[in-house]
Amino acid sequence: MRYLDSHAHILSEEFRDDFDAVLQRAEEAGVERMVIITTQPDEARRAMALAAADPRRFQAAYGIHPEDIRTVTEDSLKEMAEIAADPRLSFVGEIGLDYHWEKEMAAAQKELFIRQIEIARQVGKPVMVHSRDAHQDTFDILKEHHVPGVLHCFSGSAELAREYVKLGYYIALGGAVTFKNARHAKEVCAAIDPAYLLSETDCPYMSPEPVRGTRNEPANIPHIVRVMAQVRQVSEEAMAEQVWQNGQRFLGVTE
């Protein structure tokens, strides 16, 4: 079986000491493709270098995260737009809205989100969207300023997921789908057209069962796809292949 990790922060601090071993374990687990999500310009440049060196294995994404709303400047947006235009970058993100951490900055977050969507449109790249406790505002913005993309670590309702799929958005599920109390993620997994499901770790965060509570890494993707298969009542092989093919379509790659 072959797997995709559509959202991995593998260049973050947490992987500095054993980066090669992490990649080795991913390979052994069959995780053949990873989208490296970055939140700082230097990190983005390292991800683009990796993607350029091994484009079958890595793709790079960069965007200004909503949690960084208090430090964003016109200069940082200008630099973001330059990186977005780099041909070695595949996605703009993660971008979006986070009302869990920065609710009082909602207006500024919305403005930053829309500006980065417009940059994505100009450079013709899909967006990787972060939305936390901001379901309606995120949906309204993506409906009005529509560009292709994926809702990462989706935690909204099955109804909302269906609305996104109608607009052509992919839905990425991670560790939460394996948690006993995560009703929403399982309902979403069961409810939407399976052609729009993607798998992700969001590592180093959000480890799935049975390794919940430890540092997450791309090699944990099979735990997530296994639960997706159970929820959809298909074989693990069929689920893995479906998600892999979705990933190929979404990532714009052909074999």
Q: How far is the CB of 174 from Zn ion (least distance, A)?
A: 9
Q: Which is nearer to Zn ion, 10 or 105 (CB)?
A: 10
Number of residues that bind Zn ion (CB under 5 A): 1
* CA nearest to 81, candidates 130, 116, 33: 116
Ramachandran quadrant class, 95 (left: phi over 0; alpha: psi -120 to 50; beta: rest): beta
**What does the per-residue mask of binding to Zn ion show for 153-192, with x meaning CB under 5 A?**
----------------------------------------
Helix spans in 103-251 (H):
106-123, 135-144, 158-166, 183-191, 221-232, 236-251
Report how far residue 227's alpha carbon sits from residue 11's, in angstroms, rounded to the nearest whole number: 27
Q: How far is the CB of 116 from Zn ion (least distance, A)?
A: 15
**What does the per-residue mask of binding to Zn ion show for 192-211, with x meaning CB under 5 A?**
----------x---------
Q: How far is the CB of 86 from Zn ion (least distance, A)?
A: 20
Q: Which is nearer to Zn ion, 129 or 188 (CB)?
A: 129
Rg (alpha carbons) of the chain, rounded to whole number: 17
Report how far residue 229's alpha carbon sits from residue 65's, in angstroms, rounded to the nearest whole number: 31
Report how far residue 14's alpha carbon sits from residue 94's, in angstroms, rounded to the nearest whole number: 18
When CB distances to Zn ion are compared, the closest residue is: 202
Q: Which is nearer to Zn ion, 202 or 217 (CB)?
A: 202
Q: Which is nearer to Zn ion, 14 or 241 (CB)?
A: 14
Name residue 72's amino acid: V
Q: How far is the CB of 254 from Zn ion (least distance, A)?
A: 27
Contact residues for Zn ion (CB under 5 A)? 202
